[in-house]
Amino acid sequence: MFNFALRRLPFCACRGARGVSLQPLPRPLLSGYLPAIVPAFVPAFVPAFVPAFVPAFIASSAHAQSASADAALPAISVSANAAAAPRAVDPKLPASVETVTREQFDNWNVVNTEDVLKYMPNLAVRKRFIGDLNSIIAVRGTSNTQSARGLVYADGLLLSNLLGNSYSFPPRWSMVFPDEIQQVDVIYGPFSALYPGNSLGATVLISTRMPKQFEASADVKAFTQHFSLFGVNQNFNGSEASATLGNRIGKFSFLLGVNHLENTSQPLQFATLAKSRTPAKAGDTPVTGAYFYNNQTNTPTAVPGVNGEGIEHTVQDQFKLKMQYDFTPTLQAGFTLGYWHQTYNSQTSSFLRDANGNPVYSGKVAIDGYEYTIPAAALAPSLGHSENWLYGVSLKTRNTTGWNGEAIASYYDVSNSVARTANSGAPGNGPGTVLFGDGAGWKTLDLRSTYTPATNQAGLANHALSFGYHYDNYFVDNESYNTLNWRDGAATSFANAFAGKTQTQALYAQDAWRFLPRWKLVYGVRYEDWQAYGGSQSLGGTTLPYSDVSQQHFSPKASLSFDVTDDLILRASIGRAYRFPTVGELFQGQINGSAIVNNNPNLKPEDDLSKELSAEWAHWNGVFRFSLFQDDVKNTIFSQTDTTVIPNVTNFQNIGKVRSRGVETSYSGQDVLVRGLDLLASVAYTQSKIIANAQNPASVGKYFYRIPLWRANLAATYHFDERAALTLAARYSGRQYNTLTNTDTNPDVFGGTSSYTVADAKFSYKPTRLSEIGVGVDNLFDARYFVYHPYPGRTFYVEAKLRM
């Protein structure tokens, strides 16, 4: 990660991946594998770790070198202009890194935290509407349903929801609101030993700010979109309000924030039926109002109404408290408390009307002389609520050079989660199901010691070392019941349940060795001991327990860089990573009609070998990056249908091999061509293909699921002066497939996954030093595009900020 002291671009302090736990470890460290671990780790780990880590907390001032108040661990930053000295490579980040700062995204239309990533190179966020819970990162060869292939940290606290691997398990963006973000770094690929195999796609490091003096702020936004598709043609509105209060009093600092969001989405899903060729019968109810279109496979399809997630009204409230205390200039403790509460109500509607104009929700109907059967649940609404808590504590030293130590722990608790769904779309409080998801969550613990050497006159920094231990524990226990009143009735008869836990312990070591003035080698290894236990599934009153399983793997990494000139760096990186199965992939399942949709407790971990060649060039008031990459993933975990058995089985399975290769180019600069013009630009090509798949041979040689061939982003901000700025931006995503067999030949419709070009704009003006107003629009030309669900239409924003 490099940093250039250009106008409005502060230095970059990248955060490491750190996580948490608040209870004793339930399993002895790497039990049964010490004979293999000790020879490899102890000789290097103990002599360096113990003398450094423990004294660092006891007598950290011995190495104090006027550490920055908000430096990362280790404290490495670079300031340079276009003709700078060789730029230091952070030993934690031996691969491509892209950064967006507060000064940049303040000029974009940002409502939710994930919006700050919207113009990152070769990265997209599957965000269907403002306040969407299922906002998943897609990057390089990772699709927007492979949530377990991405890591998101906020100040070292893990926000990634690794309870499952789909759109239903997004990062908990809600534990950070945009006003507290200082900058965001995206690390591409699994090339650092400091991060687990879930970094296979990308690792997002969110750095938030702490006040230096008393401060207070208020921010109010309103937004609206007009959306028309099939039988829906109306406006959908929302608003957001946030406030912060903070101060630094001597050695103690705090920041308190609250946020309230309310929004109504466009229709997210429609009920569809294949166009009938069966003539209507005498008893069928004649109806009007249906719509017809050719679906993603060009099959004529009828649309009787809005169903499933429907038109979702969501209300979300956040509370965040961060506190820090500096015991000494180089020893700091921190505490984080986050709370997020959400309610949603998904409304459905029928387009069908009988002869008297009454809506029809189910049964046999006659449309244009043909018979259709509308299932009772086709137009069924749903609602729910949840409460989530995040607790985090940290203790770290912040010496500029020498040894540093850090301990950080966190606990994410889903304390209350209820989801209710009706059995029928008919009005009223009829029967339905209720799902209780209370008690799910995760705990993590990280201990780390690093050594940052001082640079001698020859420019050599010898060895920059990192050692660490990581522990995480994910757990889930969901129960579903029938109820006589789906809206608020008590649970009656039992329907199904599943439970299970996963646990990972890891040791890692990494060294950044500058062995010649212009050469640096970053190499390391990570050892992971993973197990899944306590798994069970209950269907129809029968509980089936599953045997415990475990895996142990080494993941070596290496990255060699060469400073060709003061402005040009070449780097070659290679790394192996193992992405272990999640609780949901292992233990969750159901029986749906004649198809079996079950769990798979015998999944193998994804085995990835990633390679990257990159060049970074500081020129024209910015940085150019060019990267070639290839990911070869064996045993890719993906939900598919095994077509080699009868009846077909649909579940998470191991796909033999998926290869993704491509090229990325990006540029980030300020005062580009003319003073005041800041520019972000990127173009990326990714070819992701299935090389082997024994369970679905028809998919071999086909493009992998939802990986566009091309992505391009452009965001240009012109600062008229210090008070006014205008941003014009565009996002492009090319051809991609919604099926493993690439049968979706008509992608730009509901049910397909579109190519799209979307333009955005925002004008910001500061009437006074402490106030700001903004007006903006996303999807300026009202493109209608889809990720199976329709994305939002043209959306207008107005915003007002006040700071003290």
| Spatial CB neighbours of 142, under 8 Å, sequence gap ≥ 6 | 149, 150, 200, 201, 202, 707
Local mean pLDDT, 10-residue blocks, the chain (804 residues): 33 32 34 34 34 35 34 30 32 81 96 97 97 94 95 95 92 93 96 96 96 96 97 96 97 97 97 96 96 96 92 97 97 97 95 96 96 94 96 95 96 96 90 93 97 72 91 94 94 91 97 92 97 88 86 97 96 97 80 47 94 96 97 95 80 94 97 96 98 96 97 98 97 96 96 97 97 98 97 98 94
What local confidence, expressed as pLDDT, does residue 161 receive?
94
For 141, 317, 593, the CA distances from 493, given in Å and listed in that order, are 44, 33, 20
The CA-CA-CA angle for residues 573, 577, 583, to 5°, reads 150
Half-sphere exposure of 741 (CA within 13 A, CB side): 11
Q: What is the pLDDT of residue 460?
A: 62
CA distance 514 to 511: 10
Quick one: pLDDT at residue 546? 87
CB contact set of 381 (below 8 Å; sequence gap of 6+): 310, 345, 346, 347, 348, 421, 422, 425
Of 534, 535, 537, 538, nearest to 493 by C-alpha is 538
Distances (CA, A) of 405 to 25, 331, 334: 21, 9, 14
Region at 52 (left for phi over 0; alpha for psi -120 to 50; beta for the rest): alpha
Half-sphere exposure of 359 (CA within 13 A, CB side): 12
Please answer whether residues 622 and 670 qualify as being in contact, where contact means their C-beta atoms are separated by less than 8 angstroms.
yes
Q: What is the pLDDT of residue 67?
A: 33
DSSP for 420-482 reads: EEES--SSSS--EEEEE-TTEEEEEEEEEEEEEPPP-TTS--EEEEEEEEEEEEEEEEEEEEE
What domains are defined for the chain?
34-274+289-803 (2.40.170.20)
Contact 95, 559 (CB under 8 A): yes
663: closest CA among 140, 307, 242? 140
pLDDT value of residue 537: 85
Number of other residues whose CB lies within 10 A of the CB of residue 450: 29
- Give the 3-state secondary structure of residue 44: helix
DSSP string, 145-211: T-GGGEEEEETTEE---TT-SSTTS---GGGS-GGGEEEEEEEESS--TTS-GGGGSEEEEEEE---
**Residue 95 pLDDT:** 87
Query: What pLDDT score was predicted for residue 88?
Result: 32
- Transcribe 324-368 into DSSP letters: EEEEETTEEEEEEEEEEEEEEEEEEEE--B-TTS-B--SEEEEET
pTM, two decimals, is: 0.87
**Cα angle for residues 740, 744, 747 (degrees, 5° grid):** 125
CA 312 to chain CA centroid, Å, is 21
The number of C-alpha atoms within 13 Å of 595 and in the hemisphere containing its C-beta is 11
Nearest to 21 by CA among 408, 570, 527, 488: 408
Instruction: Compute the half-sphere exposure of residue 62: CA atoms within 13 Å on the CB side of its CA.
Output: 11
The Cα–Cα gap between 325 and 253 comes to 7
Q: Measured between alpha carbons, how far is 587 from 37 in angstroms, rounded to an integer?
A: 30
Report the DSSP beta bridge partners of residue 421.
382, 433
Contacts of 503 (CB under 8 A, 6+ apart): 26, 27, 471, 472, 473, 474, 530, 531, 532, 533
Helix (H) or strand (E) holding 244: strand 232-249
**Contact 614/97 with Cβ under 8 angstroms?**
no
CB contact at 8 A, 555 and 530: no
| Residue 394: strand pairing partners | 334, 408
Task: Please state the φ and ψ torsions of residue 315, each to the nearest 5 degrees.
Answer: -125, 125
Residue 752 carries which side chain, given as an amino acid letter?
G
pLDDT at 457: 59
